[in-house]
Amino acid sequence: MLIQKIHRSYILIGILLYAILFIYWRDSISFFNAINVFVFASYAFTLSFCLNKDESFYTNRNLIAITFLYSFIFVCVYIQLSDYYMGNSFMFSEADSRYYERYSFVMKDMSFNDALAYISRYWGYDDWGAPMAMALMLKIVPLKLFVNLCYIVMNTIGACCLFYIGKSIMSKQYAFIGCLVYAISSYSLFFMSCFLKEEIMVFLVIVSMYMLYKYWTNRNLLYLVMGGLISLLIIFFRPPVAIFVWVAYSALLFMGTKNNTIRGFFIIVAFSVLALAAN
């Protein structure tokens, strides 16, 4: 099968790259480098294990179990490594993480309005989302590790949303493996281990597109409204990404109606959003 050929090629290329890197590491092989090799090996093994299952294996329950447990284990490992090498748990991205931590811990004891007024004095609106969201998490449990746990939950939910969309346009096996490749990849583990905004932003993008797809298949206006509101939140993380989501909404809604007046409206919206992005 094509997916198995791709996986074998990935393993061979990965082994070759690590062999080359070890030539440069031979004078300074560290425990951290060894862990990265272990992460690569466990990633390859997990995908190989899932590829050799029958159709009944590819379910939401198994995707949730594998994604959550794998992410939880390696996020804990990454955080411990960061603490050992850097003296903090920011995964070598201290510049932004330190600011997010400082502001979110201050804001967790404020009301929503006070927190918004506070953050607006220091940052532009495109950076309000992360400290506000982190402050809400810290209101529940005032520990950075709880934020990391929330990130793992977001990543798992995002994988399930992608699986729901994917299995309707391809086989369950391809959809399952594709979602797993994203959810337990090294860069996903990195962002779940940090104190950065990317994990929240990606989660919002996935859920907004999931809501759009639910509207497209069920024609329930509630999904469209919820997806639109969620996509608005992306402005407070990275406005250009929000613009692409709105264009996607306009394009799909344009294709889904035969009314020329409504089509004209969505064309105007799409071009207006693109013009806004260009400025």
Name residues of the chain where pLDDT drops below 70.
1, 25-33, 91-92, 256-263, 265-267, 269-279
Q: pLDDT at position 275, please?
A: 66
Closest by Cα among 236, 24, 185, 188 to 91: 188
Question: How far apart (Å, rounded) are the C-alpha atoms in residues 201 and 141?
Answer: 21
**61-111, pLDDT tens digit by residue?**
999 999 999 999 999 988 888 887 777 777 667 778 888 888 999 999 999
Mention every residue, 6+ apart, whose C-beta is less than 8 A from residue 120: 128
Q: pLDDT at position 273, please?
A: 62
Q: pLDDT at position 38, please?
A: 85
Mention every residue, 6+ apart, whose C-beta is less than 8 A from residue 269: 246, 250
Buried b (16+ CB within 10 A) or exposed e, 101-116: bebbeebbeeeeeebe
Question: How far apart (Å, rounded) are the C-alpha atoms in residues 179 and 62?
Answer: 12
Letter for the amino acid at 252? Answer: L
In Å, what is the CA distance from 45 to each residue of 40, 111, 265?
Answer: 9, 47, 50
Using the structure block, give the residue that is written with the tokens 């995964």: 91
**65-74, pLDDT tens digit by residue?**
999 999 999 9
Q: pLDDT at position 43, please?
A: 92
Q: Does this model's pTM top 0.85?
A: yes
